[in-house]
């Protein structure tokens, strides 16, 4: 037997629901109390440690520079082929390039 009356108290198969949504909402009776600021000694001791060591000045000789870009300068690899799902594969000779071109996708 189905419930065709669209009642919230009963489910579609006729069972009575146990739900809190049908009860009245309780009113909040709390009161406002300002938050007491507490001092965390550990944090303040860490802040004092940071003040002991000044940071490095800009332009000093100890500042790192970016490494040189790596460029292939050899003659073994002739090119790069794209295989299944954008997989880049190095091509060494012309025969291997023809094999990659004949592959079914």
Contacts of 1 (CB under 8 A, 6+ apart): 14
The yes-or-no verdict on residue 65 having pLDDT over 60 is yes
What are the backbone angles phi and psi of residue 35, rounded to the nearest 5°?
-75, 135
Each residue's pLDDT tens digit, 18-64: 766 666 777 888 888 888 877 777 777 777 666 666 666 676 666 67
Burial class (CB in 10 A: 0-12, 13-18, 19+), 81: middle
Each residue's pLDDT tens digit, 4-30: 566 777 777 778 877 666 667 778 888
pTM of the predicted model, to two decimals? 0.31
When computed from its CA atoms, the radius of gyration of the chain, rounded to whole angstroms, is 36
How far is the C-alpha of 69 from the C-alpha of 74, rounded, in Å?
A: 15
């Amino acid at each position: 037997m189905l419930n065709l009356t669209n009642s919230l108290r009963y489910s579609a198969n006729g069972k009575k629901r146990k739900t809190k949504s049908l009860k009245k909402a309780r009113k909040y009776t709390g009161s406002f109390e300002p938050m007491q600021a507490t001092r965390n000694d550990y944090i303040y001791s860490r802040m004092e440690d940071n003040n002991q060591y000044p940071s490095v000045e800009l332009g000093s000789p100890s500042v790192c520079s970016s490494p040189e870009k790596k460029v292939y300068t050899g003659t073994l690899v002739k090119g790069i082929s794209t295989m299944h799902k954008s997989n880049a594969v190095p091509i060494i000779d012309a025969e291997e390039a023809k094999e990659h071109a004949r592959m079914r996708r």
